[in-house]
Chain A
Amino acid sequence: KEQKDFVRKVSAGCRISFFLSFAAVKYRDWLSCGRGKLTARERILLLLDPDSFDEYDMFVEHRCSDFGMDSNKNKYPGDSVVTGRGRINGRLAYVFSQDFTVFGGSLSGAHAQKICKVMDQAAMVGAPVIGLNDSGGARIQEGVESLAGYADIFLRNVLCSGVVPQISLIMGPCAGGAVYSPALTDFTFMVKDTSYLFITGPDVVKSVTNEDVTQEQLGGAKTHTAVSGVAHRAFENDIDALLNLREFFNYLPLSNRDPAPVCECHDPSDRLVPELDTVVPVESTKAYDMLDIIHSIADEREFFEIMPSYARNIVVGFARMNGRTVGIVGNQPKVASGCLDINSSVKGARFVRFCDAFNIPLITFVDVPGFLPGTAQEYGGIIRHGAKLLFAFAEATVPKITIITRKAYGGAYDVMSSKHLRGDANYAWPTAEVAVMGAKGAVQIIFRGKEANAEAEYVDKFANPFPAAMRGFVDDIIQPSTTRVRICHDLDVLASKTQSSPWKKHANIPL
């Protein structure tokens, strides 16, 4: 009987919404062959510490009276969202979890009101907001009230931005207007195979552009984590996603008023990392894996990578140094030589700005041959997008530590958290090459190919860290194995760093 009720509720939603028709059919599939998804409350149960959830607005009902919605069988206490606050590893978080079993999780005025309430509270108290999204879209019966609800949420997303961390975990369909709330939050995670994000579904796409495309291709986890860059990471299933979210939450400060959290750490801060002395290959054209370096210096080799499959020529993510959360940005020589292009610049810039907004120190590993040349990049506006990364690093006032592992060529050298952009500690490994460009290109320009030994001379002069060190643009040339020690010491000192920028309403980042 219970199951019948479920189906009835779902098919009620089915009649209403275009997106729902697909979703409801799917949902019945889940009912028949293992659900594949958890309910809204089960999700909260796994996300929060046991017995820590305090629910709000359990008695709120929707206020729609058209289309027979005011009949008793169409009223559900709490409507289609569960909201409240709770603790993750003892730390406060505000949560809302959309309930797909009630009108397909569609957004009514009351639903929006509940979400706005937790967001307002979160902003006042200074604690993160976590949204578990699983909604068919607007509740069409409510018309403009539903749209107004979206806008209310969007406004709060924007007002909270930079005040408290906002995380969206997409655990089902999310379409139409609904997608903009996750897009406005700091991090969007997805669940593989069961979650979708798109402006319009495949049917509308077909009717408008005559494109044949599946849900998964159009807005599945793979698309958004690897192609569009909309989502920051995807997880195997609901449980996996929620457990990872708990772990991720530990990296974040509760608000912009809090310093980066410091966890108890068993990894000695003065640990030497001998393998770093040999990690950079002798030939400067040979690639290596920047992740090897990051793993080996981070506490317990733990690194929570953000956007691991998008713009892989730059690596960003969170780690801890002596227990303290840091944001790590590194060029990845293994992919496209680690050059900066449109996607990697935007990926890096957004991450740097998040860290700056929430007092998370930045550690930058530089091995960059420059910006990617070519018409595709120029037409795409690499100048505009590359400027975002430059802007983000320059405006950041959190502690900034930079290690040049190998190449730091041209404008990309300036961009990658250089001394000139208020870097606090800039180091070079002995393998560093800080120059305007590589030897071959430089010699062609300077000597027009006439000088035979010019390349060797250029390499001798510039393919090393000394010119930069002599001018004070790098603070020291360090033995790679001591990198972890140096960073930990610097972070201790820089914890009390204060730096300000001129008064402004807000800066005008080249969007």
Chain B
Amino acid sequence: KQWDKCLKQDCPFQWQRKERMFLEGEKIACRSSQDSYCFFSRQTFEKLLIANRGEIACRVIKTCKKMGIRTVAIHSDVDANAVHVKMADEAVCVGPAPTSKSYLNMDAIMEVIKKTRAQAVHPGYGFLSENKEFARRLASEGVTFIGPDTHAIQAMGDKIESKLLAKNAKVNTIPGFDGVVKDADEAVRIAREIGYPVMIKASAGGGGKGMRIAWDDEETREGFRFSSQEAASSFGDDRLLIEKFIDNPRHIEIQVLADKHGNALWLNERECSIQRRNQKVVEEAPSTFLDPETRRAMGEQAVALAKAVKYSSAGTVEFLVDSSKNFYFLEMNTRLQVEHPVTECITGLDLVQEMIRVAKGYPLRHKQTDIPINGWAVECRVYAEDPYKSFGLPSIGKLSQYQEPLHVPSVRVDSGIQQGSDISIYYDPMISKLITYGSNRAEALKRMEEALDNYVIRGVAHNISLLREVIVHPRFVQGDISTKFLPEVYPDGFKGHKLTDLERRELLATAASLYVAEQLRSQRFLGTARIPVAKSKRSSWELSVRLGDGIYPVAVSKDGSSFSPCLVSQQVEVDGMKLNVTSEWNLASPLLSVTVDGTQRTIQRLSRNASGDTNIQFLGTVYKLQILTKVAAELSKYMPEKAAEDTSSILRSPMPGAVVAVSVNPGDTVSEGQEICVIEAMKMQNSMIAAKTGKVKAVHCKAGDTVGEGDLLVELE
């Protein structure tokens, strides 16, 4: 047996045997059994290059380490200190910061592959992961691409071809009819064939224009009448489009895993309906919506599709599911998905490891019956962005403090950054993927709440407030979600957590108690003083706390005899109600645990200053408070109001980014709503418009400039 050699007592790599025991069929010797420093089995790749950055690169490297594969990281010059670069055995710079010159620079990457003699390339997601040209070039160099072959990438990359393939593989596609409909009866016949509800519109009309939804025969006739009239009159084209209307669609996808020997498995579904601007925010597995039959039907169709394109490696088949559990094929992603960890959590598989095995040519080692659903997993994508601006506009900066909530049980954090890392404008602003799991959904969600509260991110704006609101929203908790969840629940945009009266009192009491603890500590000097420090005999404080537009009187008094700044048990009176606040304040810790009337909460104090301004993250949302003594608060009414800046005549950049174009010059007259310049940030172009009509006084940017959030762009007179 291969293992015999390593059983000697002083083998420094003994622990690795355990890691590798389950790689049955791929005999790997312990490194210590060889003279050389590193020995790698012929049975897997010796060296693998990760053509990606950030968390996914780190994720792949972790599995490679487990499998004993040497890793090569590539990076751009601004990423020289990135975590994935440090984790990899080797790292090579492939170019400057813009992705087109670095992570998408195939020539440079091929060069690195040749130089480092990497045998395989894992593309992660994004960048070159679904680029058939890249896969082809790798193949021609004899380097294994960890993913499907070029044929599958091409077939699935083409919207029309993939639909056709799916149809042929008997996968449900959105049923529809496109052509001339003779009369209303025929329309009804077609509609019945498709199944209600249906959407009727003129084929020539673009988008949702003139779209009518019919739920029964009567409505179909009506819809036919209007649409055919419109088709003839407006477009001079009689053709009508009758298509299945998918109400309240959910986005549910099936993870598939296939090998090069024609075997394929489905690894259950992921529910990814919570999206903003077509980007997923919260994902979970399994879905609350699917029953075992639907799940099996979806899984079998997904596998059928995978087999039809001779798919190998891990892939994802995306479906839209309507309210009556009909599902329709949307597209297939021929790569590892961002949200793969939730599937890993419930199935116990390491998808990256399976991908590498499959790429090496091994058959799958699981049968469909081996694939369990163990418990529930939820993933939140933590982004560096401001959720108060259209559910998330990118934010950049240095992570001055960063602490992952790994002390919370059953939490997995996939991240590629650390304290001190820069979130730059060049790449995706994702900070991490936060995954929690539990034996059931409620447990997983509860842990997610706790994990979000315990997540310390300072220096950049982040979307934790939004995530936390979503996962506790009654609709989400019930599983009543769709891709329109965010705009439906927050029609006026996300505004942060709305405090109930009880929560407001808790927040005020906590803040006041923290303030008193701080005040008490500032009177404690160590060592003996030449002039003795006067001991304060105060046992009660009358404070005035400003929160939002309200000013609340808060009285804090000591409770019981034991009283030190560190262990505070206080009675706080807010709105005439008494609350007991107990906490062991550690004023240096970013996380503060406090119990208010028996409710334990973790809060974060983001900042404080001598003027009484305190920012507290409470229930995920950051609240600005100003805490003053009653005396100071009473006197502050005499303080002059500082005039606010007139924002209509100046245009500031709402986010960091690059100026793409400036369409005005000084002296030009602009009208209200006219485009002044365009700013590109993280793949998004934003048009900046004039807030009022006027003459341009000065232009402070030019095309190609990099601007920060709040930078002055243009001044109007």
Contacts and interface: CB of A to CB of B under 8 A. Distances in A.
B636 interface: yes
B525 A275 contact: no
B533 A263 contact: no
Interface in A55-108: 87, 89-92
B644 interface: no
Nearest to A37: B638
Interface in A287-328: 292, 295-296, 299-301, 323
Contacts of B588: 265-268, 299-300
Contacts of A236: 611, 642
B649 to A, nearest CB: 22
Contact of A264 (B420, B565, B609, B636): B565
B640 A239 contact: no
Interface string B166-203: 00000000000000000000000000000000000000
Contacts of A274: 418-420
A301 B401 CA distance: 10
Contacts of A38: 635, 638
Interface string A259-286: 1011111111000001111110010000
A304 to B, nearest CB: 9
Contacts of B642: 193, 236
Nearest to B643: A193
Interface stretch (B471-479, B516-524, B547-555): B516-524
B524 A282 contact: no
Contact of A261 (B525, B628, B639): B525
B538 to A, nearest CB: 7
Contacts of B399: 275
B637 to A, nearest CB: 8
Interface string A240-264: 1001101110100011011101111
A90 B535 contact: yes
Contacts of A292: 398, 400
Interface in B591-627: 609-612
B632 interface: yes
Q: Which of B536, B612, B638 has the most CB of A within 10 A?
A: B638
Given A264-B521, A266-B588, A266-B589, A240 B529 contact: no
Contacts of B398: 275, 292
Interface residues of B, number: 46
B420 A246 contact: no
Contact of A34 (B521, B522, B638): B638
B532 to A, nearest CB: 9
Interface string B38-70: 000000000000000000000000000000000
A236 B527 CA distance: 35
Nearest to A268: B588
A236 B586 CA distance: 30
A49 interface: yes
B288 to A, nearest CB: 40
Nearest to B566: A266
A240 B635 CA distance: 11
B367 interface: no
Contact of A279 (B420, B533, B610, B631): B420
Contacts of B638: 34-38
Given A239-B632, A263-B525, A300 B535 contact: no
B81 A237 contact: no
A123 to B, nearest CB: 13
B526 interface: yes
Given A45-B631, A250-B522, A299-B588, A91 B421 contact: no
A266 B632 CA distance: 28
Given A243-B612, A296-B400, A46 B530 contact: no
Given A37-B638, A246-B610, A262 B525 contact: yes
B586 to A, nearest CB: 5
B527 A262 contact: yes
A275 B535 CA distance: 39
A201 interface: no
A52 interface: yes
B420 A36 contact: no
B534 A87 contact: yes
Interface in A168-225: 193-194
Contacts of A261: 525
Contacts of B635: 38, 42, 46, 238-239
A196 B408 CA distance: 55
Contacts of A45: 631
Contacts of A144: none
B577 interface: no
Contacts of A257: 530
A242 B609 CA distance: 13
**6 pairs of A and B residues whose beta carbons are closest in the complex:** A275-B420, A267-B588, A247-B610, A266-B588, A90-B533, A278-B81
Given A34-B641, A243-B611, 14 more contacts: A50-B538, A87-B534, A90-B533, A193-B642, A237-B639, A243-B610, A247-B522, A257-B530, A267-B588, A274-B419, A276-B420, A278-B81, A292-B400, A323-B526
7 contacts: A34-B637, A89-B523, A90-B536, A266-B587, A274-B419, A275-B420, A279-B420
